[in-house]
Amino acid sequence: MKVVVLGANGQVGHELVGALAPCAEVTALGRRGGDLADLDGLRETLRALRPDAVVNAASYNDVDAAEREPHAALRVNRDAVELLGREALHLRFALVHYSTDFVFDGRGKRPYVETDEPSPLGAYGRSKLAGERALEALGAPAIVFRTAWVYSLRRKSFVSTMLKLGRSRPHLRVVSDQVGSPTFCRDLAVATALVLHRHRDGAFEAFLEARGIYHLAGSGAVSRAELARATLALARHPEGQPIAEVEDVPTSAFPLPAARPAYAPLDGEKTRTRLGVALPPWRESLARALADEERP
């Protein structure tokens, strides 16, 4: 199976290349070679490669910058995604795409299911929702995994930042009124590889039949402050190094250009029953992610 990974240098993209290696012939494209802002170039690349599947892990992800430059976000998160959907139909490849909990406003009282009405609070969420809708309108052979709070220790993420700050300061102030489903990028990549591998014969037809939105994030829900505490408690610390105290603060303590959903855990039941994959409880994955870390 020939698989193209777009955004191969990102948190998820990097892990995808490793997770797919045992079961696919992988072409890993970063910004160079696979620029989603260059629609003509992207079309040409796909037509030259003629893959069986494309996994789009590239995204305009800067939630705050998107408020200043919504068109740049739309180009990558809507226009390029629409092009991928069109090319998937034209070249008959299966498409995996990722979307976000930020399509929701976070005012719910229970984890979101796929049929809940999206209502994004900002430009990033609107651009990701527009990408979902473009694929749906085309009837593209696309599985869209909505995920949340993705972290790696390799690139800057909430978890890697807490680790760094928690090791250099005695006291951290972290928001406690945002609750979500932390997702280890490797878990997401492995689940994606399993779904592709299961459909390696006839991926196009299988994805056409299964097309739609699927929630796929770490199981359970936690506040950002609690996640920071869990990260520091599970991390290895050099002898004698104090572990920072984490103080709960409200979101209003850190004013940012884009509003964040307050309560947006994702319910993964549909994904478990229809696709046969579910991610482990967030705390287990966090422990695994931190166990891999080099001793500081």
Ligand X SMILES: NC(=O)c1ccc[n+]([C@@H]2O[C@H](COP(=O)([O-])OP(=O)(O)OC[C@H]3O[C@@H](n4cnc5c(N)ncnc54)[C@H](OP(=O)(O)O)[C@@H]3O)[C@@H](O)[C@H]2O)c1
Applying CB under 6 A, the residues found at the interface with ligand X are: 7, 9-13, 31, 34-37, 57-61, 76, 98, 100-101, 128, 147-150, 155, 185
Which residue among the candidates 60, 98, 112, 124 is catalytic per the annotation? 124
Residue closer to ligand X, measured from CB, 72 or 278: 72
* CB of 101 or CB of 187, closer to ligand X: 101
Exposure b/e, 243-263, CB count within 10 A at least 16 = b: ebebebbeeeeeeeebbbbbb
- 138-156: buried (b, 16+ CB within 10 Å) or exposed (e) per residue? bebbbbbbbbbbbbbbeee
Closest distance to ligand X from the beta carbon of 16 (Å): 9
Least separation, in Å, of the C-beta of 242 and ligand X? Answer: 28
Amino acid at 84: L
- Could you confirm whether 124 is annotated as catalytic? yes
Q: What does each C-alpha distance from 201 to 93, 139, 197, 206, 291 come to in angstroms?
A: 11, 20, 8, 9, 36
Distance in Å, CB of 124 to ligand X, minimum: 8
Cβ closer to ligand X: 189 or 232? 189
Identify which of residues 98 and 214 has a Cβ nearer to ligand X in the complex: 98
Residue nearest ligand X by beta-carbon distance? 10
Neighbours of 190 (CB within 10 A): 18
Residue 171: beta bridge partners? Answer: 245
Minimum distance, C-beta of residue 157 to ligand X, in the bound complex (Å): 7
DSSP for 178-197 reads -EE--EEHHHHHHHHHHHHH
Catalytic residue annotation: 124
